Amino acid sequence: MAKSKLVGLLFEAWKDMDRALQGLAEADAVRGVDGGSSFAWTAAHVANQVDAWLNVRFQRQPPHPLVGQERFRVGGTGAAGDWRDVEAGVREVREAARAYLEPLGDGDLDVVIAYDGTFAHLRETGLPLRYALLRTCAHHYYHIGEIATKRSGLGQEPGDYPGLLAECT
């Protein structure tokens, strides 16, 4: 259980993302929908941010061999590869992030690190952990909405989001 409600929100976003993807057949997971990204690519894309920001930058770990690849940063039309490999990679990235985040209290989220990424304002101010968590949560829910919309269009039950948010109350 998270000590910080914000960290708890990220953990709840992971549960909601898993629920949004639950029950996908391999063939459905890896094919693009309406000329856009596949569900597998989207799952890897969202986990790529967790990996790049929380694991690589804050924890100074090497990028995940699959999820950390450049092809999952932007674009959405590239092949994701095997759905089971993507699921395993997402799990590994989350486990590394969870081990770091779970013991942190709200006061621990005030850390700021140097940033060399694409957001110019953060290159000047640094990347605050609290901001990274907020942005990562928003990113998850943006793509959960995308997944639910696509699944609904395919005649699949998309679910209802967000879930109970039990870890942030």
How large a percentage of the chain has pLDDT more than 70? 99
pTM, 2 dp: 0.95
pLDDT at 158 over 80: yes
What was the pLDDT predicted at 60? 98
Q: Is the pLDDT of residue 106 over 90?
A: yes
How confident is the model over 9-66, as pLDDT tens digits?
999 999 999 999 999 999 999 998 888 899 999 999 999 999 999 999 999 999 999 9
pLDDT at 15: 97
Q: Given a cut of 90, is residue 80 above it in pLDDT?
A: no
Domain boundaries, the chain: 5-159
Which positions ≥6 away from 142 have C-beta within 8 Å? Answer: none
Peptide bond connecting 162 to the previous residue in cis, omega within 30 degrees of 0: yes
Three-class DSSP labels, the chain: CCCCHHHHHHHHHHHHHHHHHCCCCHHHHHCCCCCCCCHHHHHHHHHHHHHHHHHHHHCCCCCCCCCCCHHHCCCCCCCCCCHHHHHHHHHHHHHHHHHHHCCCCHHHHHCEECCCCCCHHHHHHCEEHHHHHHHHHHHHHHHHHHHHHHHHHCCCCCCCCCCCCHHHC
Give the chain's mean pLDDT.
Answer: 94
| pLDDT, tens only, 138-152 | 999 999 999 999 999
What is the C-alpha separation between 145 and 68, in angstroms, rounded? 23
**What CATH superfamily is the domain 5-159?**
dinb family like domain (1.20.120.450)
